[in-house]
Amino acid sequence: MPEVIRIPVVQMEQEFRRILMKFGFETKKAEQCAHIFAVNSLEGIYSHGVNRFARFTQSVKEGHINPKAEPEKKHSSGALEQWDGGFGPGPLNATFCTERAIELSAEYGIGCVAIGRTNHWMRAGYYGWKAAKAGFALIAWTNTNANMPAWGALDCHLGNNPMVLAVPYKSEAIVLDVAMSQFAYGTLNVYRLGGRELPIAGGYDAQGNLTTDPSAILETQRVLPMGYWKGSGLSLLLDILSTILSGGLSVKQITDRGSEHGLSQVFIAADISSLGNQHLIPKAISDIILDYHSSKPASERDTILYPGERVLRSRKQNTEAGIPVDQTVWREIISL
Amino acid sequence: MPEVIRIPVVQMEQEFRRILMKFGFETKKAEQCAHIFAVNSLEGIYSHGVNRFARFTQSVKEGHINPKAEPEKKHSSGALEQWDGGFGPGPLNATFCTERAIELSAEYGIGCVAIGRTNHWMRAGYYGWKAAKAGFALIAWTNTNANMPAWGALDCHLGNNPMVLAVPYKSEAIVLDVAMSQFAYGTLNVYRLGGRELPIAGGYDAQGNLTTDPSAILETQRVLPMGYWKGSGLSLLLDILSTILSGGLSVKQITDRGSEHGLSQVFIAADISSLGNQHLIPKAISDIILDYHSSKPASERDTILYPGERVLRSRKQNTEAGIPVDQTVWREIISL
């Protein structure tokens, strides 16, 4: 078992910043990108934070991510804009698009930014938290390379196309960050390394049976879409929408490029402060959560949490104790 | 087994129209509403077509649906509007909102209409087909009464909150019509009546185990959210968004009213003909579907269909042979 160490968030962010500048990021961009990786780690999404950082710099090195690229506006239809990501850093482009969708929604009530030729945005939830804490509702999604079979199929022609839905809640937010596969490959690997079975079926084994064995699924690559035919259909529609709205690349075209880059993403923000019922909204949301929390748990193990509730705990724990990192992962990072 | 008869769509629509006028619908509204119920039946969605018609008229009789109500604008933020449904007929209000969202998107690129105090829209897909065949992309959803437990909970505090995503495809459309529960209650009943097991687990039995036995699930009412925690989270966010954007009633508030009426719905349309890449969009979509259709089926039984593909077959078959209806269902309707 690798030893887990605790790194204070400030130290982690400084380290990320140092490395990104070494990899060609200008100071401001290095700071912003380091901040996103650090926040994702602080909030417990290590797979798209500290554990992904080295791979991110590798993509920069390979030329798939251009640290100097700025998003450029290709077309405006008013509240709907198309941008070109220039193969820039996904987290920076996605932050830009979130902010631009917010600006458009402040002007028009609702705003939509679609961006093509961008890169992996890391954690969908980051953009949801950002918009919601600024007082806006956000719906956003990305396509990916082909990593999931359609329902009833053997081979991967769909992306897991993560999606985020977010609304403000008290001084925090309710943020659903959800990919279209039932389990991420990272999760399957965590279970495999821990020698554990999945709690529910996550895909198919070589005999074509649904299984909870992570190794068998990793072998066939037949991961299960969430909700079987439902997640399969959602994935397809999200790909079509991100491709046509952005004028960018589809899952198929991204896959044909070999490594996952040049993604298409959509960001829709709504300015709820512009609505006639704006003063009633905080109570409306609190009442829904109050009722939701009043659900009877099926067992003592079950706690009925709203999406994003766990983030608050991770943020608090990791702020106090430092961010947990495998020592080998951290050693690799500081050697960059 | 009840005998199934075939009713020509024209005859069915005329019958619906006659009855709706008897129930207080003005001619034009009766025609429009009859058309929606007939099309839903023609396209194979009998549960929200002919099989639901008598119950719909019952709701009118009970005063939960006001056939004379017109939607009224409460607030405009430009491309985002709030409307009040006045407890009018759900299919008419939803058609109105789809058309209004299209108008707004033609003006602003994207348009969003949220409506409160409306009623069950019957089939989500209808509005997707309508928008997509007019050349627009549509995302829309509704809340419902509480009919699904949160993930890990025993009692129902979530709605199944159906959602539709639609884009044009050739002269037709790709339309995903998807509720947040893995199976509809109607589907569970069909399996129960047929003495069949569900193909996958659809909920819990009285012992708290996942089961494919429809009767056991109907007894506990513990239906499974699609994708377990994922559909549970999506349902919650869709309820919050429809409630706050419309200024209408939440799942909890609808449930407190006793019978399911006064729903909140959101319609977001995008004018893809306004985009810089508009001439490339048909090919972009066709290429995605071509790749999707090239998926290797897991078995000979499996056909990889895109969402909405089955509708084309039903429409063709039922146009030629008439719409299949249980004789008892049809007898009840013609006696209205």
B48 tagged catalytic: yes
> Is B154's CB within 8 Å of A281's CB?
no
DSSP A142-188: E--SS-EEPTTBSSEEE----EEEEEEETTEEEEEEE-SBSS-HHHH
pLDDT at A1: 59
Query: In a 10 Å sphere around its CB, with 0-12 CB exposed, 13-18 middle and 19+ buried, how is residue B171 labelled?
Result: exposed
Predicted local distance difference test score (pLDDT) of residue A259: 87
Residues from chain B contacting residue A113 (CB–CB below 8 Å) = none
User: What was the pLDDT predicted at B1?
Assistant: 59
Q: Shortest CB distance from A307 goes to which of B182, B233, B276?
A: B233
Q: What ipTM does this complex have?
A: 0.98
Domain map (residue ranges) of chain A? 4-181+225-273+320-335
Instruction: Give A334 to chain B, closest Cα distance, Å.
Output: 36
Q: What confidence score (pLDDT) does residue A301 get? A: 84
Taking 3-state DSSP, the helix, strand and coil percentages for chain A, each rounded to the nearest 5, stand at: 45, 20, 35
- Please tell me the predicted confidence (pLDDT) of residue B300: 85
Q: Is the pLDDT of residue A315 over 70?
A: yes
From chain B, the residues in CB contact with A291 under 8 A are 157, 250-252
Coil vs helix vs strand at B314: helix
Q: Distance between CA atoms of A36 and A40, rounded to whole angstroms? A: 6
Query: pLDDT per residue over A188-208, tens digit each?
Result: 998 999 999 999 999 999 999
Contact A167 B230 (CB under 8 A): no
Report CB contact under 8 Å: A275, B157. no
| Residue B157: per-residue pLDDT | 98
Give the closest-approach CA distance of A77 to chain B in angstroms. Answer: 5
Catalytic residues of A, by residue number, are 48
Q: Between chains, do B244 and A284 touch, taking CB under 8 Å as contact?
A: yes
For A21-33, write each residue's pLDDT tens digit.
999 999 999 999 9
**What is the reported pLDDT for B186?**
87
Interface size A-B, in CB pairs within 8 Å, comes to 288
Contact flag A77-B108 (C-beta cutoff 8 Å): yes
**Using one digit for the tens of pLDDT, what is the confidence trace for A100-142?**
999 999 999 999 999 999 999 999 999 999 999 999 999 999 9
Please report, in tens digits, the pLDDT of each residue of chain B (336 residues total).
579 999 999 999 999 999 999 999 999 999 999 999 999 999 999 999 999 999 999 999 999 999 999 999 999 999 999 999 999 999 999 999 999 999 999 999 999 999 999 999 999 999 999 999 999 999 999 999 999 999 999 999 999 999 999 999 999 999 999 999 999 998 999 899 999 999 999 999 999 999 999 999 999 999 999 999 999 999 999 999 999 999 999 999 999 998 899 999 999 999 999 999 999 999 999 999 999 999 999 988 888 999 999 999 999 999 999 999 999 999 999 999
Q: Are B333 and B53 in contact (CB under 8 A)?
A: yes
Find the Cα–Cα–Cα–Cα dihedral A113, A116, A122, A125, rounded to 10°. 20
**pTM attached to this predicted model:** 0.98
Which listed residue (B48, B120, B261, B279) is catalytic? B48
Instruction: Look at B237 and A271 and tell me if their CB atoms are within 8 Å.
Output: no
Of A79, A280, A287, the CB nearest to B109: A79
Q: Which residues in chain A are contacts of B174 at CB distance < 8 A?
A: 236-237, 240
Q: Mutate which of B238, B275, B290 to disrupt the A interface (most A C-beta within 10 Å)?
A: B275
SS3 B209: coil
pLDDT for residue B142: 98
Decide if B272 and A176 are in contact by the 8 Å CB cutoff: no
Work out the angle at residue B141's Cα, subtended by the Cα atoms of residues A78 and A309, and round it to the nearest 5 degrees.
95
Sign of the dihedral through C-alpha A168, B269, A110, B113:
negative
Helices (H), A266-323: 281-293, 309-321
If you write DSSP's letter for every residue of B71-127 in order, what string do you get? -EEEEE-SSEEEEE-TT--HHHHHHHHHHHHHHHHHHHSEEEEEEEEE---S-HHHH
Residue A308 has pLDDT above 70, yes or no: yes
Write down the pLDDT at residue B126.
Answer: 98
**What is the dotted CATH code of the domain comprising A4-181+225-273+320-335?**
3.30.1370.60
